[in-house]
Amino acid sequence: MQYDVHIIGGGLAGSEAAWQLARRGLKVRLSEMRGSGERSPAHQTDQLAELVCSNSFRSDDDTSNAVGLLHHEMRALDSLVMAAAAKARVPAGSALAVDRDFFSAEVEAALAGLPNLTVVRERIDTLPDAGLTIVATGPLTAESLAGSIGRATGADSLAFFDAIAPIVYRDSIDMDVAWMASRWDKGAEASFEMGGDGRDYINCPMTREQYEAFHAGLMAGEKTEFKEWEANTPYFDGCMPIEVMASRGVETLRFGPMKPVGLDNPHWATEEHPNGRWPYAVVQLRQDNKLGTLWNMVGFQTKLKHAEQVRLFRTIPGLENAEFARLGGLHRNTFLNSPTLLDRQLRLKSAPHIRFAGQITGCEGYVESSAVGLIAGLMTACELAGTDWQAPPATTALGALLSHITGDAEADSYQPMNVNFGLFPPLHDVKKKARKAAYTDRAKTDLSDWKQAAAL
């Protein structure tokens, strides 16, 4: 089949861009390396839109949270990723978490139902010389294509490290020690709507002595060594290995992934524990699939060697006999210096028939990657229709993220970024406590007006 657009990469961004284009009647070729005998260092399946690091799309609160607002805006634009996430959702309080395999299957099924979309399992080694192309190969772009991109940009790609958290089999967790609860019961209403009971996390409690021993073991544990060429590559703060956080001070984890506040342990009798029912630290696990058989260790991304992970994590109360469906790991990611290399429509300045989308542009996170894929699809559809592209207002989550990527950020210090209210035009005249709600209210109004004007 002849095609109007060639999309390279079948991850979240590529799948979303393909959906936005093909459902508008455009012919799309979607090339995905996995399934052709190739696979990246971090992927485990050949499914489109595979979720690698986590099963969570983070907060679904669209009233005072930037990523929840981004969810809202993507739904308003018929996002495939958001629709598939709704079908694959599992209880996680106010967060949007999904069954990974169910989610990917939903994305694949939706794309397979579009007759003008062809998915080809093939590795693309070089950037096409002509034809509208969207490159959405993500931060794990194959070496050959990364080399071609480097030659086309005339600049070295920046790089950073992402880490992956372990996944534990539910039936190997000792629930006589651990217990089910959400912090301060937050998100209970959303949990009930999803068939949960408001207690969506498994919590493993620690005394001060247990926590300090765990911290010491974490610091002493054998870690994966960097190759020489990786030595100066930074971590992305949103996916930092737990041992790197721990190196910042013995109490750091108690104010991060092992924070105990809002978690009252019903197993502890007051006379046995000086702090009553309140643990000194807590390890939380979040449901990873619809069956509830797999649970993700929240915030436990790590570069510990596998044997060391098993040994150390089994010292956590409740995980003494834990069996792991997946252990943690570390992988190197690459991204473009987009403010320098891309124009305001995500096109490569030196080759404007090529757009980039997803994490390779320097956004960070599943939702952000999908959102940039969505916008790239809309831009390309607009270009093919011969109409002028009008970007979403910078007051919206989509517009703020796009502005950051394509020029508002400082090119010399450009780093991967999650969507956050710091990217939005400020509301100095609104009191600080009311500011987040004001940002979301303004964004919803402006997105609605923009969508109507753009006839989307």
Tokens of 59: 């907060």
Q: How many angstroms separate the CA atoms of 329 and 41, rounded? A: 10
167 — phi, psi (to 5°)?
-125, 135
Helices of type H across 353-456: 366-385, 397-403, 432-453
User: In the chain, helix, strand, coil percent, each to 5?
Assistant: 40, 20, 45
Tokens of 97: 């978490």
Strand 351-356 relative to strand 347-348: parallel, antiparallel, unpaired? antiparallel
| Residue 399 assigned as binding residue | no
Residue type, 450: W
Question: Distance between CA 108 and CA 351 in Å, rounded?
Answer: 30
> Is 11 known as a binding-site position?
yes
- Detail the DSSP E strand segments found in 9-132: 28-32, 56-59, 89-90, 95-98, 117-121
Judge whether 12 is annotated as a binding position. Answer: yes
263: Cβ contacts below 8 Å, ≥ 6 apart: 181, 183, 203, 205, 278, 279, 282
Q: Torsions phi, psi of 45, nearest 5?
A: -130, 175
* DSSP state letters, 155-197: SPPEEEEEEE--EEEGGGS-TTT-EEE-GGGTTHHHHHHTT--
What token pair was written down for 76? 């308003």
Please answer whether residues 48 and 104 qualify as being in contact, where contact means their C-beta atoms are separated by less than 8 angstroms. Answer: yes
The answer to the question of whether 10 is labelled as a binding residue is: yes
- The answer to whether 238 and 301 are in contact (CB under 8 A) is no
Contact 131, 313 (CB under 8 A): no
318 is in an annotated binding site: no
Helix and strand numbers (H, E) in the chain are: 13, 17
Q: Which residues are annotated as a binding site for FAD?
A: 9-14
Q: Which residues are annotated as a binding site?
A: 9-14
